[in-house]
Structure 1
Amino acid sequence: MSETTTSGDRLVGSADGDVELAVGGGDSEGTKRPKEYIGRSPNQLAWARLKRDRTGMISGIIVLMFGVVAIAAPLIEWIYGLGPNTSNSNLLDRTGLPLGYLGGIDFTTNNADGHIHILGVEPQTGRDIFIRLVYGARTSLVIAVSASILSVTIGSIIGVMAGYFGGWIDSILNWVIDFMLAFPFILFSIAAIPVINTWIGDEIGDVSPTKRIITIIIIFSVFGWLYTARLVRGQVLSMREREYVEAARAAGASGWHIMFRQIMPNLWAPILVTFSLSLPATVTAEAALSFLNIGVIEPTPDWGRMINASVPWLQADPMYTFIPGFAIWVLVLTFNLFGDSLRDALDPKSAK
Structure 2
Amino acid sequence: MLIRLLEGGQVSLTVGLVTAVFAALIGTTVGLLAGYHGGRLDQLLMRFTDTMIAVPVLPLLIILAALDPKKLPLPEALTGSDSFSLYRIVLIIALFGWTTVARLVRAATLAARQREYVRAAVALGAGNGRIMLTHILPNVVSPIVVATTLSIGNIILLESVLSFLGLGIQLPLPSWGNMLTNAQETIWSAPLLAFWPGLLIFVTVISFNFLGDGLQDALDPRSSGDKK
TM range (shorter): over 0.9
Larger Rg over CA atoms = 1
Q: What residue is the counterpart of 2:22 in the other structure?
A: 150
Q: What residue is the counterpart of 2:36 in the other structure?
A: 164
1:192-246 Cα offsets, whole Å, 9 max, x none, are 123262324849xx73221111111111110111110000001111111111111
AA in 2 matched with 1:133: L
AA in 1 matched with 2:3: I
| RMSD of aligned alpha carbons | 1.6
Q: Conserved in 2, the CA contact under 8 Å of 1:239 and 1:263?
A: yes
Q: Conserved in 2, the CA contact under 8 Å of 1:197 and 1:212?
A: no
Q: What residue is the counterpart of 1:133 in the other structure?
A: 5
Indicate which of 152, 155, 164 corresponds to 1:279: 152
Task: Within 5 Å, give how 1:110-259 maps onto structure 2.
Answer: 129-195=1-67, 197-198=69-70, 199=72, 200=74, 202=76, 207-259=80-132
1:326 deviates by 0.5
Q: Number of residue pairs matched?
A: 222
Unaligned runs of 5+ in 1: 1-128
Tell me how far apart the structure 1 counterparts of residues 135 and 76 of structure 2 sit (CA, whole Å). 47
Work out the percentage of aligned pairs sharing the same amino acid.
37
AA in 1 matched with 2:183: S
Q: What residue is the counterpart of 1:12 in the other structure?
A: none
Tell me how far apart the structure 2 counterparts of residues 286 and 201 of structure 1 sit (CA, whole Å). 24
Matched, 1:293 2:138: no
Unaligned runs of 5+ in 2: none
Q: Conserved in 1, the CA contact under 8 Å of 2:83 and 2:173?
A: no
AA in 1 matched with 2:55: F
Q: Conserved in 1, the CA contact under 8 Å of 2:21 and 2:148?
A: yes
1:268 deviates by 1.5
1:157-204 Cα offsets, whole Å, 9 max, x none, are 11011001000000110111111122211111111123262324849x
Relative contact order higher in (CA < 8 Å, ≥ 6 apart): 2
AA in 2 matched with 1:221: A
Q: What residue is the counterpart of 1:260 in the other structure?
A: 133
Bigger proportion of residues as helix: 2
SS of corresponding position for 1:296: coil
Task: Within 5 Å, give how 1:273-352 maps onto structure 2.
Answer: 273-350=146-223
Tell me how far apart the structure 2 counterparts of residues 325 and 350 of structure 1 sit (CA, whole Å). 34
TM-score, normalised by the number of residues in structure 2:
0.92
Q: Conserved in 1, the CA contact under 8 Å of 2:165 and 2:181?
A: yes
